[in-house]
């Protein structure tokens, strides 16, 4: 398939499908300085905006990747094309992850400029948290066949972290803020596994590809 087809698909998806979600995520990012102080923070405090708030951009960006084709008739029309439906979804996933990284870079830069104690672990750990939440939404949407169920899965998992906290073990989202010392690679790996499971579910169980 020609590169031009993928580029065309990329621009159309950015403009027509993902733009509202990107704008919502950007609005959330812009509200971070209003909710949190970003200056002169210690390491645990600097992790709070990245883990406890900005991670919701993962939910906003990634959960609706199957939304445009939720209607079965539209999905069938898309599946008739030469480019497979799942490759379109994968393309969406890639550019949304890049946008997620850009949003995290903006806030991390703000924290650095504010002379807060920031390490590379904050940046990558924050992204891992957001990806985990987004992947939970993707898997929920794939299994439930409805984007709302994806949002439910992602948002409820976010909420449960405030009550269960360290009882979630390696899947606790706010490890840097609470200084648990658990590596964020668990979240990153789980995010990848959930996304793979979602795509696998669509391809092999629901036979949508």
Partner 1 sequence: MMLFRKEFKRIVCSGVYVLFFAAEFFFAFYTQFWNDMSLGWNSYAPPEPGGDYGMTVVDDPELLTQNATADLLQNFISNNFTTYPLGFIHKVHLKGTAKEKLRMILQMLTGFDDPETYVKEHFESKTLYYDFDTEPTYEYQIPELNVLSRVSIEDFRALMTEADKILGGGSFYSPEEIDSTFCLAPASYEDVLSEYNALVNDDKITNGYARLFCDYHGIFMALLPVFLIAVYLSEDRRSKMEQIIYSRSISSAKLMLTRFAALVCAMMLPVLSTAVLANVRVMQVYGVSGLDYFAMFKYSLIWILPTVIAVTGADMLLMGFLHPVVVVVGQFVFWFFSTNLVSPTSPIGLFHLTIRHNTCYGRQEFIDNLPIFTENRLLFTALGILCALASVYVWKCRREGKLREIKLLPKLPVHQSEA
Instruction: State the residues that interact with partner 1 by CB under 8 A.
Output: 15-17, 19-20, 23-24, 35-37, 39-41, 45, 48-49, 52-53, 60, 64, 67-71, 74, 115, 117, 144, 146-149, 151-152, 155-156, 159-160, 163-164
Q: Are 202 and 208 in contact (CB under 8 A)?
A: yes
Q: Give the nearer residue to partner 1 in terms of CB position, either 169 or 192.
A: 169
The distance of closest approach from Cβ of residue 98 to partner 1 in the complex, given in angstroms and rounded to an integer, is 21
Other C-beta atoms within 10 Å of 84: how many?
15
The distance of closest approach from Cβ of residue 4 to partner 1 in the complex, given in angstroms and rounded to an integer, is 21
Other C-beta atoms within 10 Å of 170: how many?
14
The distance of closest approach from Cβ of residue 35 to partner 1 in the complex, given in angstroms and rounded to an integer, is 5
Q: Give the nearer residue to partner 1 in terms of CB position, either 160 or 205.
A: 160
Q: Give the nearer residue to partner 1 in terms of CB position, either 116 or 128.
A: 116
Q: Give the nearer residue to partner 1 in terms of CB position, either 54 or 188.
A: 54
Other C-beta atoms within 10 Å of 185: how many?
12
The distance of closest approach from Cβ of residue 185 to partner 1 in the complex, given in angstroms and rounded to an integer, is 26
């Amino acid at each position: 398939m020609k590169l031009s087809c993928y580029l065309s698909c990329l621009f159309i998806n950015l403009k027509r499908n993902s733009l509202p979600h990107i704008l919502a995520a950007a609005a959330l990012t812009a509200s971070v300085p209003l909710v949190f102080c970003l200056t002169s923070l210690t390491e645990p405090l600097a992790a709070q905006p990245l883990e406890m708030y900005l991670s919701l951009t993962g939910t906003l960006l990634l959960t609706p990747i199957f939304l445009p084709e939720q209607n079965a008739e539209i999905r069938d029309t898309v599946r008739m094309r030469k480019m497979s439906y799942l490759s379109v979804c994968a393309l969406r996933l890639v550019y949304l992850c890049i946008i997620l990284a850009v949003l995290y870079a903006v806030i991390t830069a703000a924290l650095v400029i504010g002379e807060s104690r920031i390490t590379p672990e904050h940046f990558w750990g924050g992204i891992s948290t957001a990806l985990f939440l987004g992947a939970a939404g993707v898997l929920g949407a794939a299994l439930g066949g409805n984007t709302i169920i994806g949002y439910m899965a992602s948002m409820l998992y976010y909420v449960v972290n405030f009550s269960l906290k360290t009882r979630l073990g390696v899947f606790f989202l706010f490890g840097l803020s609470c200084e648990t010392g658990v590596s964020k690679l668990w979240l990153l790996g789980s995010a990848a596994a959930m996304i793979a499971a979602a795509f696998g579910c669509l391809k092999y169980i629901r036979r949508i590809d």
